[in-house]
Structure 1
């Protein structure tokens, strides 16, 4: 269990670094004048393309093809990620529409539209002794589906409210920063596969670095423009309650459906763990790609950060608990 403890320690350090970035943004915010010395936005843009290039390099197509026969599990997980999540949040749309909390609802809907995580899903399923091969398949395929589904779902609500970029610009950004790097990475996978495996830990740190910089830049803008002055404390409480409530609803619905479909214990673990996760990596990147205005970026980032933190702490505890009695997941 030493390797699992090491992973949890790294995740805890990362969560602390996220908090540190927010504190730094408050104490030493990044000013526009600093761009003459270091262009942070340009570095982040290249970093986004780099993350998805590395994602393509890491994608194991053999593992994906190998587990495609377990299609019922995959279908339920992806339906949970891209249908159940958004649908549950959409139920509150009539209450939020036209109210002062509409953008708060929209930020939670943004979270609901994101794909699942990659590394932590596989790690948690492994600890809980679930179906790791199916976890790898769904973690890989979820990010690819999200390239289409996340912008598509957000397009119904984002443009009229936020005044973000038009759909042509969004598609162009997705092609340049997301899809093309992934395709290039897949094509280069046979050449650099050994290199990626050898330096996988360094690659993971690069992913985290870009996320931390995105958080720092977004919160810097919020503090410089005094955006938080217009955001009451009750909004943070609403966001925290909403995302935790959303997690438990999705988790138990997926568990109920998996049991009704008579999945075995390993597949039920995989469905509930992979289907209830949301990716901070994709959330941070789509925050920039979708053309969300500077004044709203922090509001959209907050629920993703809260959800990410909660799912790591809670699911890691849950995985360890399930691992002690792998065949009895109902208790």
Structure 2
């Protein structure tokens, strides 16, 4: 049991990271950045966001994305779920009455639904479950590549339909702060990709530290704007239920559709984790660019809660799959 837990932690590299994210929320709630400090943190956050996407671009293998096209049925299913069914489901959830889902948190559910799949955890869970790891790598890479363009557009359209908007300046910021560094990383990957691969742990710490800074900045702005006077413990409880229901629906649908379409167990595993997981690593910096500082905290609450639940529940599901396919 201890060895399995260690393997899970090693595969995902998240044994301290979740606590650190929660710690940033607590720190921002107690000591939010104000005045000149807020300006300094915001400037550092912009640099951190650009660095995150530069590293993502440098690490993402173009060969993996191209190879993924060979298994088009599997990846087509995962991508259709991620960028079509998920956003429609999120839009439906956001229309729930306020006694089910607080109106202040509904935009965050829509944004969650528009996010791409994870890379690290989807691959890690697939490996633990003894699934098709190559397909998981290709699918997650393609999902994140498409998400760079699709997520901001879909979030803007769907939030606009709900009366909230993503401004033109935010979309321009996506080009400058996200796409430009990402493309630069891709162009330089030939020369720096090997260095990043050999020093993956060190660059991973830089990546995650940047995201922690974004979380602190987001919740500092939200605290100053009065997030905890607008979101009660009861509101958080209702959001927890909504996130758990969304995760259950996603997992149940992916299992059902994979078996209905006749995929092998190994392919089913890659489909389930690729189609149900949502990327915190992509969502946090995107939200920091797309939304005003006062609202980013509201947007990120559903993303952060869903992320915790997907880690816990998918870890248990991966172990069940591992027993099922073991010789």
Q: Normalising to structure 2: TM-score of the pair?
A: 0.91
Displacement of 1:161 after TM fit? 6.4
1:156 — aligned with what? 157
- For residues 38-57 of structure 1, what are the structure 2 equivalents within 5 Å? 39-57=40-58
Quote how far apart the aligned CAs of 1:5 are: 4.2
Mean Cα deviation higher: 86-95 or 200-209? 86-95
1:253-308 Cα deviation digits (max 9, x unpaired):
11111111111110000000111000111111121221x23332211111111111
Q: Per-residue CA shift, 1:153-193, capped at 9, x if unaligned?
A: 222243576765632x2332121112222221111111112
Q: Distance in 2 between matches of 1:238 and 1:258?
A: 30
| Structure 2: distance between partners of 1:138 and 1:288 | 25
CA 95–206 in structure 1, closer or farther in 2 if over 3 Å, else same: same
1:278 paired to 2:273 = no
Alignment of 1:160-175 (within 5 A): 166-167=167-168, 169-175=169-175
Distance in 1 between residues matched to 2:110 and 2:180, nearest whole Å? 27
SS in 1 for 2:22: helix
Which residue does 1:225 correspond to in 2? 225
Q: Distance in 2 between matches of 1:317 and 1:232?
A: 30
The answer as to whether partners of 2:91 and 2:110 remain within 8 angstroms in 1 is yes
What is the root-mean-square deviation in Å for CA atoms of aligned residues?
2.4
> Offset at 1:96?
4.6
Query: Which residues of 2 match residues 251-290 of structure 1 at below 5 A?
Result: 251-290=251-290
The residue matched to 1:91 in structure 2 has which SS? Answer: helix
Deviation at 1:111, TM superposition (A): 0.5
Is 1:30 matched with 2:33? yes
Match of 1:21 in 2: 24
Quote the residue 2:85 is aligned against.
Answer: 84
Q: Report the alpha carbon displacement of residue 228 of structure 1 after superposing the two structures with TM.
A: 1.3
Distance 1:47 1:123, change over 3 A: same
The corresponding residue for 2:117 is: 116
Comparing 207-216 with 59-68, greater Cα deviation is found at 59-68
CA contact (8 A) 2:222 2:298 kept: no
Judged with a 3 Å threshold, the aligned counterparts in structure 2 of structure 1 residues 260 and 46 are, in CA distance, closer, same or farther, namely same
CA distance in 1, matches of 2:270, 2:203: 25
Unaligned runs of 5+ in 2: none
Structure 1 unaligned regions, length at least 5: none
Q: Give, in angstroms, the shift of residue 88 of structure 1.
A: 1.7
Residue 140 of structure 1: aligned partner: 141
| Residues 54, 182 of structure 2: 8 Å contact kept | yes
- Label 1:294 to 1:63 Cα distance change in 2 as closer, same or farther (>3 A): closer
Shift of the 141–111 alpha-carbon distance from structure 1 to 2, 3 Å rule, reads same
C-alpha contact 1:52 1:181 (8 A) present in aligned 2? yes
CA distance 1:70–1:315, change in 2 (3 Å):
same
Distance 1:18 1:321 in 2: 28
Q: 1:156/1:35 Cα in 2 relative to 1: closer, same or farther (>3 Å)?
A: closer
Q: Distance in 2 between matches of 1:86 and 1:249?
A: 13
**Aligned counterpart, 1:235:** 235
Matching residue of 1:326: 325
TM-score, structure 1 length as denominator? 0.90
Distance 1:165 1:6 in 2: 37
